[in-house]
Chains A and B, each alone.
Chain A
Amino acid sequence: MAEKRPNARWFVIALPYLWLAVFFLLPFLIVFKISLSTPTLAQPPYVPSFNSLAEIWEKARQFTIDNYAFLASDSLYYSSYFSSLRIAAISTLLLLLIGYPFAYAMARAPRAIQPMLLMLVILPSWTSFLIRVYAWIGILKPEGLLSAFLIWLGVIDQPLRIMNTETAVFIGIVYAYLPFMVLPLYASLEKLDPTLLEAAADLGCPPWKAFWLITVPLSLPGIIAGSFLVFIPAVGEFVIPDLLGGSDTLMIGKTLWREFFGNRDWPVASAVAVVLLLLLVLPIVVYQHMQARQVEAAR
């Protein structure tokens, strides 16, 4: 038994790396390779393409970094990246503002009903994501439920123009990503020891100050995890802006779509994807590094 244990341990450690290699590194390398090629009218629509590993060395000279130079030459790509980051950042902030009270109330609810509340958060995800986004079209369109309701209340007298605007995109993203923000927040808030707040109160600390000094710092891992979980997919979001947004909602997902489908330029599309990945991965790596140092320091 004792001899076998190291093997089992190596296997357990290797598994996530194997997963990453097969489902992240390999696809990334393929995309990276295409980003160095040149488009052509053929199947596949770029050169060089390889039939065997040996050919890679033969044809490597055909690789080019022109596609990256091209991205830098047209302001469209800056604007798309920037606009995506902006929309994702605002969405993340909105999600945090809505998700935090949500998670806080859940964590403070009686133990017995917490599983049910958790269930209620997850429940909408049992319906197809696409159908839920379509449902928002029915709510937000000019003759839709929201306008009809507000007109009935007498709040407005003209139908609202929310559909096909950026506001609709924010509504869609916040709605669709809310569980991914609430769950990590709940997980960290639920572990919070309530006696800490009692102690603070005993020592004369007003509740809002106790919240800032105790609850928020202790739930920071949840805030960070939740923000990453929603920010990263929101940057590359394609479906929600396509269905709810207007044609002038510039996002990198749509720009990538146009390169790939409109221009049939797979190499430039791949370059856009590689740059997007670097844009997202770098801050995460920096954050991980800082956290590791913090853990070291705590020891």
Chain B
Amino acid sequence: MAFAASLRHLLLAAVASSCAAPALAKEVRVYNWSDYIDEAILKDFEKETGIKVIYDVFDSNEILEAKLVTGGTGYDVVVPTATFLSRQIKAGVFQKLDKSKLPNLKNMWSDIAERAAKYDPGNEYSVNYMWGTTGIGYNPEKINEAMPDAPVDSWKLVYDPEVLKNFQKCGVMLLDSPEDLLPSVMTYLGLEPDMNNTESVEKAGEHLAKLKPYILKYHSSEYINALANGDICLAVGYSGDILQAASEAAEKVEVDYVIPQEGAQLWFDQMAIPADAPHPDEAHAFINYMTRPEVIAKASNFVSYANGNLAAKEYLDEAVAQDPRVYPTEDVVKRLYTVSTVEDPRVQRIITRAWTRAQSGS
């Protein structure tokens, strides 16, 4: 009987809560990169503001952009990379931020904001969420085994065919994203990393084609697990993703991340509000919450990416704040570069075509 009674209570409670749900109509729909937040932050936000968070993830800028230009995404906050954001702003898919609703912007790091302004002049449409570098993730033990004198601090490790062929057996993966990968190939080839220079794009593509036999796969997220499981020994990927693989693998295999000495790409993931966002007020509330120093520091501690919030530095874990792979030292920062957005569809076509040829040989 007691069981039946408690069951009835449970059912009543379930009915009551499902009926109460519409009263809590305030919600914010967020579309962010996969493995890019400490979920506790979302719970804290819900508790504090009473705004329900619906959180979806993607793993490629291309997919986000296709949704944005289709329109009617239903999302209130999206987090594209700045190189893509710049073009999306021109396509008219975002609304200008109402900075009176974002008092926490005072915490932002002017150095990062200025660099991001290259893509979003005046930071009118976006606020930095995280930033990072595109470098090399590797398994020191396996690399050392395959090639004891491997040049681990250089792009030669991946792009010199004579070096790379040693690692074919232990597995190599590269990002399936020409915007992230081709600039690093240009750097290796001694060219200015510029995606709008079709000659450089072709050269980089031709060089990649030569490496084809040694590369297991191009993919933009599989390398995290593959590195952590020891299925591969070398990958070109995003700083924080590789550091996540390293901590995931902690006990089983060793994984390290390096920003090659020749220089590497610096990128910014920016929070923005689509023009047709159904809940713009809640979107501003969410962005304002995320720019609170202790909140964004919590996210950085969790995902091992640096954020664009200067005031957040004192809330960072020592291990994150002092890690040059997350917050590069000043002389490394000097070697980091940003890449301009490609706007001309003809140039884009040449890039994609070179990319396909590099991967499939046709």
State whether these chains interact: yes
Most chain-A Cβ atoms within 10 A of its Cβ — which of B60, B68, B360?
Answer: B360
Q: Does A221 contact B (CB under 8 A)?
A: no
B356 touches A265 (CB 8 A): no
B216 touches A76 (CB 8 A): no
Nearest 9 A/B pairs, CB to CB: A261-B62, A247-B218, A247-B359, A262-B352, A79-B362, A45-B69, A250-B360, A248-B360, A41-B91
A258 touches B70 (CB 8 A): no
Kindly state the separation between the CA atoms of A258 and B62 in the bound complex, as whole angstroms.
Answer: 9
A145 to chain B, nearest CB (A): 13
Kindly state the separation between the CA atoms of A141 and B226 in the bound complex, as whole angstroms.
Answer: 10
Residues of A within 8 A of B362 (CB): 75-76, 79, 250
Kindly state the separation between the CA atoms of A250 and B361 in the bound complex, as whole angstroms.
Answer: 9
A263 touches B352 (CB 8 A): yes
Kindly state the separation between the CA atoms of A265 and B345 in the bound complex, as whole angstroms.
Answer: 8
Q: Indicate whether A246 sits within 8 Å of B217 (C-beta atoms), given known contacts A42-B69, A76-B356, A261-B63.
A: yes
Residues of A within 8 A of B178 (CB): 262
Q: Indicate whether A43 sits within 8 Å of B60 (C-beta atoms), given known contacts A142-B171, A164-B216, A258-B356.
A: no
Kindly state the separation between the CA atoms of A39 and B343 in the bound complex, as whole angstroms.
Answer: 12
Nearest to B355 among chain A residues (CB) is: A262
Kindly state the separation between the CA atoms of A39 and B362 in the bound complex, as whole angstroms.
Answer: 24
B257 to chain A, nearest CB (A): 22
Nearest to B274 among chain A residues (CB) is: A43
Kindly state the separation between the CA atoms of A262 and B182 in the bound complex, as whole angstroms.
Answer: 14
B93 to chain A, nearest CB (A): 6
Scan B276-294; emit 1 where CB is below 8 A from any A CB, else 0.
0000000000000000000
B231 touches A141 (CB 8 A): yes
Residues of A within 8 A of B256 (CB): none
Q: What would be 9 A-B contacts, judged by CB atoms less than 8 Å apart?
A: A43-B70, A142-B171, A246-B216, A247-B217, A248-B359, A249-B360, A262-B178, A263-B349, A264-B69
A202 to chain B, nearest CB (A): 58
B230 touches A164 (CB 8 A): no
Residues of B within 8 A of A104 (CB): none
Besides A75-B362, A247-B359, A255-B356, 19 new A-B residue pairs in contact (Cβ under 8 A), listed by A number: A41-B87, A41-B90, A43-B68, A44-B71, A76-B353, A79-B362, A142-B171, A142-B231, A143-B231, A246-B216, A248-B212, A248-B359, A248-B361, A250-B360, A258-B355, A258-B356, A261-B62, A262-B178, A264-B66
Residues of B within 8 A of A250 (CB): 360, 362
B65 touches A264 (CB 8 A): yes
Residues of A within 8 A of B345 (CB): 39, 41, 263-265
Residues of B within 8 A of A75 (CB): 362
Interface residues of B in 324-359 (CB under 8 A from A): 343, 345, 348-349, 352-353, 355-356, 359
B229 touches A143 (CB 8 A): yes
B176 touches A42 (CB 8 A): no
Residues of A within 8 A of B230 (CB): 143
Kindly state the separation between the CA atoms of A74 and B354 in the bound complex, as whole angstroms.
Answer: 13
Which positions in B face A, CB cutoff 8 Å? 60, 62-63, 65-66, 68-71, 87, 90-93, 171, 176, 178, 212, 215-219, 229-231, 343, 345, 348-349, 352-353, 355-356, 359-362
B62 touches A43 (CB 8 A): no
Interface residues of A in 226-275 (CB under 8 A from B): 246-250, 255, 258-265
Kindly state the separation between the CA atoms of A169 and B349 in the bound complex, as whole angstroms.
Answer: 28
A272 to chain B, nearest CB (A): 13
Nearest to A144 among chain B residues (CB) is: B231
Kindly state the separation between the CA atoms of A261 and B171 in the bound complex, as whole angstroms.
Answer: 27
A261 touches B343 (CB 8 A): no
Residues of B within 8 A of A262 (CB): 62, 178, 348, 352, 355
B47 to chain A, nearest CB (A): 33
B348 touches A42 (CB 8 A): no
Scan A79-90; emit 1 where CB is below 8 A from any B CB, else 0.
100000000000
A273 to chain B, nearest CB (A): 15
A260 touches B66 (CB 8 A): yes
Kindly state the separation between the CA atoms of A76 and B91 in the bound complex, as whole angstroms.
Answer: 29
Residues of B within 8 A of A246 (CB): 216-217
A180 to chain B, nearest CB (A): 28
Residues of B within 8 A of A39 (CB): 345
Kindly state the separation between the CA atoms of A76 and B350 in the bound complex, as whole angstroms.
Answer: 13
A263 to chain B, nearest CB (A): 5
Kindly state the separation between the CA atoms of A258 and B177 in the bound complex, as whole angstroms.
Answer: 11
Kindly state the separation between the CA atoms of A143 and B252 in the bound complex, as whole angstroms.
Answer: 14
Nearest to A143 among chain B residues (CB) is: B231
Kindly state the separation between the CA atoms of A131 and B184 in the bound complex, as whole angstroms.
Answer: 34
Residues of B within 8 A of A164 (CB): 216-217
Residues of B within 8 A of A45 (CB): 69, 91
Scan A164-180; emit 1 where CB is below 8 A from any B CB, else 0.
10000000000000000
B136 to chain A, nearest CB (A): 18
A47 to chain B, nearest CB (A): 12
B69 touches A44 (CB 8 A): yes
A265 touches B229 (CB 8 A): no
Nearest to A78 among chain B residues (CB) is: B362
Kindly state the separation between the CA atoms of A218 and B69 in the bound complex, as whole angstroms.
Answer: 53
Kindly state the separation between the CA atoms of A259 and B62 in the bound complex, as whole angstroms.
Answer: 11
Kindly state the separation between the CA atoms of A170 and B68 in the bound complex, as whole angstroms.
Answer: 35
Kindly state the separation between the CA atoms of A264 and B67 in the bound complex, as whole angstroms.
Answer: 11
B355 touches A43 (CB 8 A): no
Scan A131-169; emit 1 where CB is below 8 A from any B CB, else 0.
000000000011100000000000000000000100000
- Residue from the list B69, B215, B361 in contact with A43, Cβ < 8 A: B69
Kindly state the separation between the CA atoms of A79 and B359 in the bound complex, as whole angstroms.
Answer: 14
B248 to chain A, nearest CB (A): 16
Kindly state the separation between the CA atoms of A278 and B350 in the bound complex, as whole angstroms.
Answer: 27
